[in-house]
Structure 1
Amino acid sequence: MTRGLLACGIVAGPLFATVFTVAGAVRPGYLPLRHPVSSLALTGAGWNQTANFLVAGALLVAFAVGVRRLLGRSSGAGVKPWPLGAAGVGLLGAGLFPTDPVSGYPPGTPDELVYTPAGALHDAASMLFFLGLPLACLAFALWFARGRRWVLGAYSVLSAVLFLGLFLLAGLGFSQAPELVELGGLYQRLSLVVGLAWTTVLALVLLRGDGEP
């Protein structure tokens, strides 16, 4: 069971990225470079991105449970699954509560974000993901460093830094910063790919090892 739960961490990232990439490429009026991934859940075709949030979130939560089972109560293990679990819960919440229109999508809506209660809940849930994942990267960076696995530790730190940096650039784009508004969607996608690639690598490392740093 533990190995099956860890394997969920391998699947979550590639599945999530594949669905939002394909959906964004074929959606009329949707510009992947400009518009956020969450906007794919709007309009009548939005069910596929909603399902994408829910499935990927469930897979990340399962992965966090697998990490907990693998590491048990070893030194420092208790903190590491929870940021991963929070990231999964964040994706689940993003699927349950639709975002508000921004940057002119769906067509005919204003560029500026105007919050509704559901949209505010969507962003609050998303923050669990966008904060939980880099915290998990940093927690595992320390864990790898204790085991003198310097490459994996450095990769985890770099992933956290890139993830947060790209996320901030995306946020500025969605806030209609003139120099970034046309690339907000690109920066968000790069952030997601960086973070979810790390979860895939982590799952592969844990499946090949024995829970020791």
Structure 2
Amino acid sequence: MTTSLPTRAGTTSTAAELTADRVTKSLLGYGVLAGPVYVVAALVQSAFRDGFDLTRHAWSQLAVGDFGWMQVTNLVVTGLMVLAFAAGLRRALRTGPAASWAPALIGVFGVSMVVAGAFPVDALGTESMSTSALIHFAAGGIGFPCLAAGLLVLARRLSREGFARHALATRIIAPLFLLSFVGMASGALGILAFVAGVVGVFGLVAVLAVHRYRQMPDTDG
């Protein structure tokens, strides 16, 4: 016998459906947590790391040295949270436009963060680039465009569903984030622009996670 449980919205869900929706909501919640965890952890490290200059050094350099394990952990944990969010997004979207591609592309970004953490960059001043550094930069070169692409695919669905403001914000922030990544090599302004891009895109992910969470059936019944 299947048990149905009432919700505040006046609909009913079976016990299995209610459990599944709660799991999906929990996974979406990691999209809210990922950005603040990554950004705050990186900023705290940069404030206390001797010789680190936020205007000249990329956050990847925090993974070098005696305390490098902190940034390695930050990258890996954040990447796993992005993967959890991507899984929740796939469950929430179910079918239709962006249901497969948006979560998959965002998931690739999550994997790229884990890989980047596992393979740190070289210390500043190293004459030849190590294999670890090459893998690190390759991970970013794949992951960042995938994140932007996944968000733009999701924007198409948001537009079709009538969420014009969310779609517009996504179509503005995702390309700007990608441009900031490309321009990071231009020097201090490029690095600061990329920091702003990272903060902006993770903020967007958080907003979209909350938005999709609110579209889910009520599970308080």
The correspondence of residues 21-170 of structure 1 with structure 2, limited to 5 A, is 21-101=43-123, 105=124, 109=125, 114-170=128-184
Distance 1:66 1:8 in 2: 9
Q: Which runs of 5+ in 1 are unaligned?
A: 174-180
Which piece of structure 1 moves more, 60-69 or 72-81? 72-81
CA contact (8 A) 1:16 1:53 kept: yes
Distance 1:182 1:64 in 2: 32
Alpha-carbon distance, 1:124 to partner: 1.0
Partner of 2:194: 188
Q: Which runs of 5+ in 2 are unaligned?
A: 1-22
- Counterpart amino acid of residue 208 in structure 2: L
Distance 1:124 1:161 in 2: 19
CA contact (8 A) 2:180 2:194 kept: yes
1:26-69 per-position Cα deviation (integer Å, ceiling 9, x unaligned): 11011011101110000001111000000000000010001111
Aligned pair 1:210/2:211, yes or no?
no
SS of the residue 2:100 aligns to: helix
Partner of 1:6: 28
TM-score between both structures, scaled by the size of structure 2: 0.84
CA contact (8 A) 2:144 2:178 kept: yes
State percent identity of aligned pairs. Answer: 31
Distance 1:73 1:149 in 2: 17
CA contact (8 A) 2:180 2:190 kept: no
TM-score between both structures, scaled by the size of structure 1: 0.87
CA contact (8 A) 1:37 1:185 kept: no
Query: Which has the greater radius of gyration?
Result: 2
- Counterpart amino acid of residue 205 in structure 1: H
Distance 2:159 2:135 in 1: 37
CA contact (8 A) 1:40 1:46 kept: yes
Alpha-carbon distance, 1:80 to partner: 1.4
Distance 2:136 2:36 in 1: 22
Partner of 1:198: 204
Distance 1:75 1:185 in 2: 35
CA contact (8 A) 2:97 2:157 kept: no
- Counterpart amino acid of residue 156 in structure 1: T
SS of the residue 1:77 aligns to: coil
Call closer, same or farther: CA 1:49–1:145 in 2, change over 3 Å. same
